[in-house]
Structure 1
Amino acid sequence: MWSLRPISYSALSGWKDDDHGAALAAFQRQALKPIDERYKTGSIGITPAAFDPVIALSQKPEAIKNPRHFFEDNFSAYKLVCHDEKRGQVTGFYEPEVDAQRGSDAQFATPLLRRPDDLIVLNESNRPSTLSEDYRFGRRDGNGNIVEYYDRAAINRGAIDVDDLAIAWIKDPVDAFFIHVQGAARLNMGNGETIRITYDGKSGHPFTAIGKNLIERGEIAKDQISMQSIRAWLSKNPDQSRALMEENRSYIFFKEAPSINENLGPIAAAKVPLTAERSLAVDRLIHTFGTPIFVQADTVNNAPFQHLMIAQETGTAIVGPSRGDIFFGSGELAGEKAGAVNSLCDFTILVPHGIGFDEAGVQLP
């Protein structure tokens, strides 16, 4: 069981040495959220509306002049503590960048697909008893019954018309798999054209971490697992790579972003551009998007990591109060940084003043 305990900023190791201006820039991007986008209130109990006044204040010259004081003056800090002294965990994610083209050929033969028309969003009113609550999407079969959607293996074998659904085609199915895991990508289309794709739904099946499967089978040592070591294994074992990737039945569908700005990260679940090393993917059932979270990780890329971050993304594998995924930016270097991250950590939540928040009433699993 996790709980929240008040903590002073002076007692937060690394707080005063952080770059609060970088954190402020990420928080200011909350003002870019579309008017019709409505966040859900996480179980911690901070309503999305509680952030509106401080988002407005974050744009003021006073905040920009002294960003550390802005956070200290407008938020109270609460550390997430587990009753059995368990700690949290952070990993990393990034926006891959690959060559692509609109049509397929012998070289560009792996598709990145848009959302199919027959993909149905499941909820309490239409989810059949045969499908668990983990399934957020399904389809209707020939008899009109809602069933699970086609999984990765079925789609790879032609269950849906990929020629009709393809946004673009890339060379390497391993690249496509990791684009699915990251949920976004920049596609270099040639002739100077670059398009961005972002998450737009999935087959609905539970996410399976193939790295965990490789550890359990003795293929990669636990202390050696990373995106790079998984890629190396897939490259060394091409006869087994497709079957291993298909063990992750979850298949991701994408949409094109309307435009691209090289200075901004991809627009993710919170519908605002992500900021490298300042945007955090969290469990959205627990944390409300826009929440500033001070992350103290033991080691990130061979150094302690003590950064104030903003909850602006989520992910299937990001489950629990103190579980996070750090965004590292776009491209190969960002991928190298993100793929090597797997660290114990502690979370401190920043709660806006004056909202009647009572940490004693927060009970987390």
Structure 2
Amino acid sequence: MAPEARIKILLKNGATALCAGLVALSSFSLGAEAARRHYRGHHHHIPQVPAAPPRALPYPQLPLPFEISGAQYLPLAWTDVKGWSDDNHLAAYKTFRASCKSINGQTGASEPKALGGSLSEPCRVAKTLELSDDAKAKTFFEDNFAPLRISRLGEPDGFVTGYYEPVLEGSRTQTDVFNVPVYRRPSNLFVRGYKQDSVSLPNKGPVYRKIGRRKLVPYYDRGEIEDGKIAGRGLEIAWLKDPTDLLFAQIQGSARIKFDDGGVVRLNYDAYNGYPYTAVGRVLIERGIVPKEEMSMQRIREWMAQNPDGAKELRRQNRSYIFFREVNLSDKDEAVGAQGIPLTAGRSIAVDKALHVYGTPFFIEGELPIDSERSKTPFHRLMIAQDTGSAIIGPARADLYFGAGQEAGRVSGRLRHPMHFVMLVPKGLDPSVRAAKLPVPDPRPSEKIAKLFPQTDPAKAGTPAAAAAPGKNETVATAGPVPLPVPRPAIEPAREPRRPVKNRSHRQQ
């Protein structure tokens, strides 16, 4: 056989063997893979590798220790509360225990406010203590609360006014003398998120009236109501002589009406028409009618009595209108506040119920014209939040309750003063204790750099202040100013030469 033929046969046999080997190898690989799959599916599961944990933030997202919308506050020591030791703590303790009756009876979720349900613990302690000693009452507050200075954000003080319960003459029916209606809440008054027959409606925010089933429009203002928009619907509780009496009853939020037959009906705030309160006294001051230093409730009454037509226009400047509900006289013959318990003259206050919890103690300190319009009587008193009103808005805003009758009206009518507010926070919610648990952030890199390279202002280097020695036997090495990097110049990219464009025919080929 020729050598060339033998070479061809060898090459042919080698190629055949190589192909057979490749086929066998691939078959073995496929079989091994099938065996592995069978083994995994019937005997073992491949252990799952745990996913890498998400990168944690530099600082944990913890809830704030204490938060009241629009407020600023500062924890204090009891020794820093001016006048704290001079107060009648036993009287405040008795008023606080009265609030605890309502707090202890509450069930369900706590209120979504700063204090929440934290007052339940001090109330649980107070329930077991029948105190009759002022020193022990003082110790109770110090053991169960922490003082916190509070005011509106950006303002140093809070603001107080006074209120009382007017005692007015009235009639159950309309007559020529008694022709000013006192209305209860209308059935078509609607607030979003509340049922129309809800016992407690908010004292701020929009209020509507329903037209048909779905259409909502703003409720009538004072002028429209005085002009008879809701008259004749059976909403009249009683009738008064003077619209000024009704105005001040609405400002106070409650009143007693005495009838000719000897009967008495008590009225409490129930709802308002959705318009912000405008102080008629401020309108008289702005118009230059009454000097600011002479302003009082009695002064407003006198001007309105002398100017009936002007009084009507002045009332309508306050578009807010209050609706009342009838309540029974309490055992102590005192007004019943929004918390549902009798108020205590000189110890109960009205607060913004959107921010505060009823039963919260507030220590109010400053000077008030209690004895006369010109007097500056020191006022250091622990008061308990038990009521509210449509004009009481803000974290450090309170209406001080002085009781019923003319004398209480004269005192409360003089009050429009800034005061210091100290809120008593239950120890379980002490912001200073809870804030201590929050992590301290790392120092900023800029602070480290500033220590390594202290800067000096060349313009001020020659001034005496710059040359002042920091202290005895103390030297300070000041490095020269570190030059800032030169801004990167804006370099426009070089334009490439434009290529000549051949003329193309627009005709179709």
Q: TM-score, normalised by structure 1?
A: 0.88
Residue of structure 2 equivalent to 1:130: none
**Alpha carbons of structure 1 residues 137 and 233: separation in structure 2 relative to 1, 3 Å:** same
Aligned-partner residue type, residue 78 of structure 1: L
Q: Summarize the alignment of residues 19-98 of structure 1 with structure 2, pairs less than 5 Å apart.
A: 19-33=88-102, 35=105, 40-42=111-113, 45-47=114-116, 49-65=117-133, 66-80=136-150, 86-98=156-168
Secondary structure of the corresponding residue to residue 218 of structure 1: coil
Do structure 1's residue 217 and structure 2's residue 291 form an aligned pair?
Answer: no
Residue of structure 2 equivalent to 1:129: none
**Alpha carbons of structure 1 residues 61 and 264: separation in structure 2 relative to 1, 3 Å:** farther
Secondary structure of the corresponding residue to residue 147 of structure 2: strand
**Alpha carbons of structure 1 residues 260 and 332: separation in structure 2 relative to 1, 3 Å:** same
Aligned-partner residue type, residue 250 of structure 2: H
CA positional deviation for 1:188:
1.1
**Does the CA contact (< 8 Å) of 1:277 and 1:329 recur in 2?**
yes
Residue of structure 2 equivalent to 1:206: 276
Work out the CA distance in 1 between the residues paired with 2:333 and 2:98. 10
Deviations 1:241-281 (A, max 9, x none): 11110111111111110x21362432222222211111112
Secondary structure of the corresponding residue to residue 190 of structure 1: coil
**Alpha carbons of structure 1 residues 36 and 291: separation in structure 2 relative to 1, 3 Å:** closer
CA positional deviation for 1:104:
0.9
CA positional deviation for 1:124:
9.8
Q: Which runs of 5+ in 2 are unaligned?
A: 1-69, 197-202, 436-509
CA positional deviation for 1:125:
12
Q: Which runs of 5+ in 1 are unaligned?
A: 127-132
Residue of structure 2 equivalent to 1:169: 239
**Does the CA contact (< 8 Å) of 1:41 and 1:287 recur in 2?**
no
**Does the CA contact (< 8 Å) of 2:151 and 2:158 recur in 1?**
no
**Does the CA contact (< 8 Å) of 1:96 and 1:330 recur in 2?**
yes
Deviations 1:214-241 (A, max 9, x none): 1111011122222111111111111211
Q: Which has the larger radius of gyration?
A: 2
Residue of structure 2 equivalent to 1:304: 378
Q: Which of 308, 315, 318 is the matching residue for 2:392?
A: 318
Q: Which of 349, 352, 355 is the matching residue for 1:286?
A: 355
Aligned-partner residue type, residue 24 of structure 1: Y
Q: Summarize the alignment of residues 1-365 of structure 1 with structure 2, pairs less than 5 Å apart.
A: 2-33=71-102, 35=105, 40-42=111-113, 45-47=114-116, 49-65=117-133, 66-80=136-150, 86-123=156-193, 135-141=205-211, 144-162=214-232, 164-257=234-327, 259-261=328-330, 263-301=332-370, 302=375, 303-355=377-429, 357-358=431-432
CA positional deviation for 1:182:
1.0
Work out the CA distance in 2 between the residues paired with 1:125 and 1:311. 26
Higher relative contact order (CA 8 A, sep 6+): 1
Secondary structure of the corresponding residue to residue 84 of structure 2: coil
CA positional deviation for 1:139:
0.5
**Alpha carbons of structure 1 residues 125 and 269: separation in structure 2 relative to 1, 3 Å:** closer
Deviations 1:293-340 (A, max 9, x none): 000022241311110001112222222222211011111111111001
Counting aligned pairs with the same residue, the percent is: 37
Deviations 1:99-136 (A, max 9, x none): 1121010111111111111111234999xxxxxx9543
CA positional deviation for 1:355:
3.3
Work out the CA distance in 1 between the residues paired with 2:269 and 2:424. 28
**Does the CA contact (< 8 Å) of 1:283 and 1:318 recur in 2?**
yes
Deviations 1:190-237 (A, max 9, x none): 333211111111111111111111111101112222211111111111
Work out the CA distance in 1 between the residues paired with 2:338 and 2:310. 33
CA positional deviation for 1:356:
5.7
Aligned-partner residue type, residue 407 of structure 2: L
**Alpha carbons of structure 1 residues 102 and 249: separation in structure 2 relative to 1, 3 Å:** same
Work out the CA distance in 2 between the residues paired with 1:349 and 1:12. 11
**Alpha carbons of structure 1 residues 179 and 101: separation in structure 2 relative to 1, 3 Å:** same
Residue-pair matches, total: 351
CA positional deviation for 1:33:
2.3
Work out the CA distance in 1 between the residues paired with 2:323 and 2:118. 33
Work out the CA distance in 2 between the residues paired with 1:15 and 1:98. 37
Q: Which piece of structure 1 moves more, 187-196 or 337-346?
A: 187-196
Work out the CA distance in 1 between the residues paired with 2:237 and 2:123. 35
**Alpha carbons of structure 1 residues 296 and 360: separation in structure 2 relative to 1, 3 Å:** farther
Deviations 1:63-95 (A, max 9, x none): 443211111111111112677563221110111
